[in-house]
Amino acid sequence: MYLPGSSKINSKNHLEIGGVDTIDLVTQYGTPLYVMDEWDVRNRMREYVNTFEKQQVAFQVAYASKALCTMTMCHIAKEEGLSLDVVSGGELYTALKAGFPVDRIHFHGNNKSDEEIKMAIRADIGAFVIDNHYEISLIEQIAGNENKKVKALIRVTPGIEAHTHEYIQTGQEDSKFGFNIGEMALEAAKRVNQSNQIELLGFHFHIGSQIFDMTGFEKAIERMAAFYQMVQKELKINLPILNTGGGFGIRYVDEDQPLSIRHYVTALVESVKRYFYHLGLEIPQIWIEPGRSIVGEAGTTLYTIGSNKEVPNVRKYVAVDGGMMDNPRPALYQAKYNAVIANRMESQASELVSVAGKACESGDMLIWDILLNEPQSGDVLAVFSTGAYNYSMASNYNRITRPAMVLVSNGKTDLIVKRETYDDLIQHDLVPERFIQSSYNKITNV
């Protein structure tokens, strides 16, 4: 049985993460509960940084905070010397409140608002990643009003389709992101280069997510090297930075076979060196943006099993106290997960069941057809590799409260996100005075 990070089976035959018994976590914090393995998070961050350092190239590893954005995660990234990739005003605000170094913040997004751009410029962030001509105009206008000059990369779609789900492909020509490589991107570069408010640092690309081989990256880097040569020759400028995005895959189920972080980084750097050297170009500073590959496997979600339903000769459904509200990925793009009965780890998984969520939706299925150890009401189900995009994409569908999140390390536990309450659900609801008055009149007229 594959157990991620510091997870193991303890002497009670319980699942233990970070030296903490998951059943004790459930007793203290309830379920559903997001559990983050701090050792695993930091270890992965350090492996990225250490591998780059061994390659002896200039680099920045920017944690893609959209995977999991909390103030604690920003603090960990800061302590490990990473930069930060944000894609909204909310993520930027979280980073600023966490005291993240502003010069290491990169702001992405295909439709940044006036207010978001203004917030970023006033904070003096490290760089924008420009996505379209509309954004160029906004940045020029706002930066001019603020009497500032900002640094930026231009996002380019290199025409590479990564072998992943169509919803998480981003490098193909038909994408909502960026300028298509060639004349479209060249025109954007010319415009930015002539701007008094923007300093062009280089280009960014991202070909998709959950990628298990380097072929797509190598092809994209080859195209980008040729494009850099064309731009530098045309504009007579040196572009010091190439941002190759992220998208490195992780293990969700046994058939997933991701490369090691060391392999991803080494192959990436070797490709940049090979194609840029071949064209007589200086090796640029290499930026990358891992998110899922840092926090994905470090996260485990704990649920309590409730009802079950057996359909003769079809399947047995086992329901948990969470679902698509805390993990929409199976409903969105058929994501698959592994799970275990956390309170009976060493017993053999012999019963084929399907794990259903509690939302009022037929499509709220967390796992189809998984072998578990005779799941019973009251058992704790641990679903692995839920650190990326689960909390980030969670909702209050059916007015169900979002779970708490704890950080575990060396036998200690820290609550880093409070569990929502019913009062939290209605805190922004407003009732017009006329409805209240109408109710009052009906009561007094009885």
> For residues 256 and 180, what is the distance between their CA atoms, to the nearest angstrom?
31
Please answer whether residues 321 and 31 qualify as being in contact, where contact means their C-beta atoms are separated by less than 8 angstroms. Answer: yes
- Give me the helix-helix angle, 261-278 and 38-55, nearest 10°: 30
Please answer whether residues 281 and 268 qualify as being in contact, where contact means their C-beta atoms are separated by less than 8 angstroms. Answer: no
- Please confirm, yes or no, whether 74 is among the known catalytic residues: no
Structure tokens at 257: 């076979």
Structure tokens at 163: 């072998």
Structure tokens at 166: 């169509």
> For residues 261 and 250, what is the distance between their CA atoms, to the nearest angstrom?
10
Q: Which of the following is catalytic: 58, 360, 415, 426?
A: 360
Q: Which residues are known to be catalytic?
A: 360
